[in-house]
A and B are shown apart, each in its own frame.
Chain A
Amino acid sequence: MTTAARASPGARRRAGAGAVSRAQHRARVPADAALILIGACFVLPLLWLVLASLDVSAGHEARLPARVSLDNFAAIMTPGLLFQPLWNSMLLSAGTAAVNLIAAVLAAYPLSRYQSRFNRPFMYTILFGTCLPITAIMVPVYGLFVQLDLLDSMAATIFFMATTTLPMAIWMTKNFMDAVPVSLEEAAWVDGASGLTALRTIVLPLMRQGLGVVFIFVFIQAWGNFFVPFVLLLSEARQPAAVSIFSFFGQHGAVAYGQLAAFSILYSVPVLALYVIVARGAGSSFALSGAVKG
């Protein structure tokens, strides 16, 4: 084989790279323009939210406020309107995430550590469970709650909400746990530690970050959930922000759009912040690691 022949693949690759980068350069301007146009369409509905929150006489339209003020925010900062519902959201979401995490960690441990012929069928059955349209089971769940006298119970609502996100949480937790090598636990086992002791002292500390991701992921879902508490929690004192904001909007005759927007922003900030934390730590496709990649 001649030197020329040997050199040719490299040369071809270089030429290829040049052609590709030239093609990319040419494509860049239209791609930028198209993206900016689409991005603008996505921003427009959000623009209203921000502008209206600063505008005391806001309506449906997005417009620059005649006078920028924080009056809307000041008006809603009352215990009944904002703090109690937010506190309820907090209890509901943290409770849901905690129940979820405990059940998911316990379930993931044997699934990850011991081989059993139940593992695969179990994992696929719960994956199948994630496909249930939750809105479809709300009517039967309401019926069940009536029969068991659980309506308007914060605890029961927490357990139900935890269950709806549990399949996803088990998949994610198991994936994180599979990444912790079994060899680290073997020494503990030989020393007579039980599986659960090994889980607590060795596995969990090593997958702290993964557990954080699962917790935040479930928390975000619970925080944003409207339909479940809307159906299951009746008394105003227990309703989370998602439901109270809806009654605030739907039942009062004249809607104060500025206040609605201000409430929406204050209610959204925690989940936006949590999302940023998780996206930074685990890559923006964190939410998909559980379901899609299996």
Chain B
Amino acid sequence: MATTTPQRLRTVNRLHPHLRRQARLLPVLPAVLLLLVFLAGPVLWAFHASFTNAALTGRNARSPGWVGLENYQRLITDPVLPLSLVLTVVFVGGSAILGQNLLGLALALLMKRARRPVAAVVGTAVVAAWVLPEIVAAFAAYAYFSRDGTLNQILGGLGFGQPDWLYSFPMVAIMLANIWRGTAFSMLVYRAALDDVPGEVTEAALMDGASGWQRLAYVTIPMIRSSIATNLMLITLQTLAVFTLIWVMTAGGPANASTTLPVLAYQEAFKFGDIGYGTAVASVLILIGLVFGAAYVRLLRGSKG
């Protein structure tokens, strides 16, 4: 972080030191312009458009009118919104905070103990699901969970029932799919974190007679606490934004049973053509993202002192 301006440079550029210092920041401009136009712009536009009746087609598409809080009033009374909020929380909590996080940690811990080739092969399998383009991963998950898919084949072979996962348990299916797709990230974070834990510390605990679970709970976990917090924050944000997986697997159905906030925003805006209401939903999601983003930045600053 700390880079020092060479003393010499200041003496060479003695002319208009103030101007020169400003001019040095010029190369940042293209990046700032892009970020303002394509990120900050849409966010501000979203908050604005959520107060209008902007539509996809028709008269309101070109000259949307100001409707004040109408969209938000509709949002509060819309029975789909609370459902979609709950589904989003369940999706993020179940597949990211519990699923990806715990499975990622378990994989990283197991890989430290297992034989090296086993760890390498399994690691590749886990990472493969993560590196694949999202649409391909979504197709694979769709086929896997479909009525005559691989999962039901296995369940049938073991003598269990074969439910239509995507229809009867859509949330279970998309949560398992998201765990499959995203665990690699947590696994990589935790592998890096565990590699930084000095071996002597766990050895000392072992010498003191601590059991495996005790070493994990009282030594390893506290030592990688900041990695855990960072990881939780990032996977929460990633999972909050998941759209393609759900869209391909269930399209939010059946009857809104898997409509998380991104899917709802998309449906309102593009399926029903109501951009104003869609952006109101999106604004809620943006606000949630901003809260987590602020927490994440605070966390990183705090860890650096």
Contacts and interface: CB of A to CB of B under 8 A. Distances in A.
A102 to B, nearest CB: 7
Contacts of B230: 292
Count class of interface residues, chain A: 35 or more
Interface in B31-75: 31-32, 34-35, 37-39, 41-43, 45-46, 49, 54, 61
A142 B269 contact: yes
Contact of B110 (A34, A115, A132): A34
B254 interface: no
Contacts of A132: 39, 43, 286, 289-290, 293
Interface of B: 1, 3-6, 8-9, 12, 21, 24-32, 34-35, 37-39, 41-43, 45-46, 49, 54, 61, 103, 106-107, 110-111, 113-115, 118-119, 121-123, 125-129, 131-136, 139-141, 143-144, 146-151, 153-154, 180, 183, 185, 188-189, 191-192, 199, 202-204, 206-207, 212, 227, 230-231, 234, 237, 240-244, 248, 261-262, 265-266, 269-270, 275, 278-279, 281-282, 285-286, 288-290, 292-294, 296-297, 300-301, 304
Given A135-B242, A139-B266, 17 more contacts: A20-B202, A42-B180, A44-B154, A112-B3, A115-B3, A131-B290, A132-B39, A135-B241, A140-B279, A142-B275, A143-B46, A163-B38, A178-B3, A189-B8, A257-B143, A264-B135, A288-B188
28 contacts: A20-B199, A31-B113, A32-B114, A35-B110, A35-B118, A38-B110, A41-B180, A46-B128, A47-B150, A49-B139, A62-B150, A115-B5, A118-B25, A126-B35, A132-B43, A134-B241, A136-B46, A139-B270, A142-B275, A182-B3, A190-B8, A226-B134, A226-B135, A245-B136, A264-B140, A284-B188, A287-B188, A292-B230
Q: Closest 6 A-B residue pairs measured CB to CB?
A: A131-B293, A39-B122, A224-B133, A140-B46, A133-B241, A107-B31
